[in-house]
Structures are given as C-alpha cells and as structure tokens.
Amino acid sequence: MPPAHPAEFRRRAGELAREKAKPVSALAKDLGISESCLRHWVAVDAVYTGRREGLSSDEQAEQVELRRKLRVAEMENEILRRAPFFANTSRRALPWQPSRKRNSTLLP
C-alpha cells in the first residue's frame, strides 16, 4: 500500500477537481493517483465543508462507539431482566433438579 498523501495535497487536488478545468480522469493521471481516489477526496471534502450531507470521520467514529455502548447496555439489561429467575435458588428447587424431601420430624 502506498504511503498516504499529505492533507494539503488532497485539499489542493480536490480544489482542482472542483474547478473543472480538466476532466477528473486527466487530473488524476497528472497527479499520479487513481480517478476513484480523487473522486473520494472530493466527496469527503464536500461533506466536511457542508456542501453535501453526511457524517465526518469523527462523527462516524462516535456513532460506532455509541452503537457499541448501546449493544453492551442492552445485553446487561437482558441479564438483569433474567436475574429474578436465579434469585433465592437455595430455598426452592430449580425445574431441572430433583425435589428435596424434608424430614418431617424437624418441622415444627
């Protein structure tokens, strides 16, 4: 994988593509990058500058983190919802355990 181009290079390439002095394919060839790479840079720049709707990379990372936290909270909630089933198991027999018979002489 080639090294990443500097941010200034990407910004300037995006500006040149937006000026439309040359077709994107010719401009990309002159800059030594692929046409799809240049189109991606232009699209990302449009999102960052507000000319196009979308999420910036910071917002995307935050959204991923929040979704992960929500998934964990939902799992914890499900565990707590099932907890009463396992509470006080020492006094009653669970459905899969044989019942214990008490000695009637010990009962008052």
Per-residue pLDDT, 63: 96
What is the full per-residue pLDDT of the chain (108 aa) written as tens digits? Answer: 667 888 888 888 888 888 888 899 999 999 999 999 999 989 888 888 778 888 878 888 999 999 999 999 999 999 888 887 666 555 555 566 565 655 555 555
Per-residue pLDDT, 108: 52
**Contacts of residue 34, Cβ cutoff 8 Å, sequence gap at least 6:** 28
Which of 18, 36, 17, 37 shows the shortest CA–CA distance to 27? 17
Model pTM score = 0.52
Q: Which CATH number fits domain 1-53: 1.10.20, 2.60.40, 1.10.10, 3.40.50?
A: 1.10.10
Q: Which two tokens stand for residue 91?
A: 């006094």
Domain range annotation of the chain: 1-53, 55-84
Tally Cβ neighbours within 10 Å of residue 13. 21
Per-residue pLDDT, 51: 82
Q: 65 burial class (0-12, 13-18, 19+ CB within 10 angstroms)?
A: exposed
